[in-house]
Amino acid sequence: MNSNKKLNISNYFKKKSVKRFSLFFVIASVFLIFSKLSNDYKQTIRLKVNLVNLQDEIILQDDSLNMINAYIEAKGFSLIPFIFKKSKEIVVDVHTDVISMPNQFVFDVQKHQFLIEGQLGESYKVLSVKPDTLVLSYSKRASKLVPITLNSSINYAVGYDIKEGFEFNVDSVKVVGLSIMVDEINVLGTELLELNGINTNINESVKLDVSEYDAIEIFPKSINVKAEITRFTEGSIDLPITVKNKPNNIKINYFPKSVTLLYYVDLDNYNTIKASDFTVECNYADIKEDQAYFVPKIVKKPEFVKRISIKQKRIDFIKL
């Protein structure tokens, strides 16, 4: 009985000793790692040059040539990210940091060492860089500006309509690609903007439709479309008819002497409508042989009036 108790006590202390040793070992290892990472190290890292503010038409010929080998000094902590990724990106502005030549950009790496250090951060000290100069070749594609047309299917709620028209944030887009394809494009339409039951202002982003073209790019790829939607109502007004181009030696009598115009207008402008805003004419020069009637036409109307029509489709006349 006593021997069993002694054995259990002995096992207990042995287990406690193993746990303590393991704990001390882990703590010591952590301190050792932190101690090592706190030291300064020298290492070569790869930096990928990313040119920004390029013209849309430009294509870099070989993306593998835009690499810099930088020999740096830094704490071990700062070098940990390079264990998980092969390179770090450096942003270079083509407007301010490179020399532009026909079909080439020249980046003086040695001269811009401060730029590299600034983007790496204070934790890194750049000791040297290779190569001294990067020469990046590029080709330039054809481009031109083309106007935009909106492809839409919009159903308005009863009593509502668009007040003036659609507004685009840009009136044209840049088309870039092979010259043979770019030359063929004179206008670009949007993808279908489909809206139903609209009774509030429209403010939508719509992509340009390039489904017919395989090897072109457009900038921008989408546009913003706006329109003011408001209440509309129908109105009518009676107007006298004016006959033009009648020969002086011919006398006629026509009936009716006036016509009724039916129009669709927004409520804000409904009370401003007056007869002098419209003109309806019959043109004697349009009469064919043996024709005894005029077709009245609206030759003047306010811009804000929509879907205007004449109730009387013909004006009969007789020669006296």
Taking the domains of the chain in order of start, what are their residue ranges? 1-38, 41-140, 142-227, 234-319
CATH number of 41-140: 2.170.120.30
Neighbouring C-beta atoms of residue 56, cutoff 10 Å: 14
Give the separation between CA 12 and CA 57, rounded to whole angstroms. Answer: 77
- Cβ pair 229, 162 in contact under 8 A: yes
Residue 13, pLDDT above cutoff 50? no
What pLDDT is recorded for position 295?
92
User: Does this chain's domain 41-140 share its CATH topology with 234-319?
Assistant: yes
Between 197 and 117, name the one with better pLDDT. Answer: 197
Tell me the three state secondary structure of residue 27. helix
Arithmetic mean of pLDDT, 301-310: 90
Pick from 161, 193, 190, 134: which is nearest to 267 by CA?
161
Class of domain 142-227: mainly beta
Pick from 102, 103, 97: which is nearest to 133 by CA?
97
State CA 35 to chain mean position distance.
51
- The amino acid that residue 171 corresponds to is D
Pick from 211, 142, 208: which is nearest to 176 by CA?
142
Question: What's the CATH number of domain 234-319, 3.30.70.1900, 2.170.120.30, 3.10.100.10, 3.40.50.2300?
Answer: 2.170.120.30
Give the separation between CA 318 and CA 320, rounded to whole angstroms. Answer: 6
Give the separation between CA 215 and CA 192, rounded to whole angstroms. Answer: 22
Q: What is the pTM of this model?
A: 0.62
Residue 37, pLDDT above cutoff 50? no
Arithmetic mean of pLDDT, 225-250: 92
pLDDT digits (tens, 9 = 90+) for 251-274: 889 899 999 999 999 998 999 999
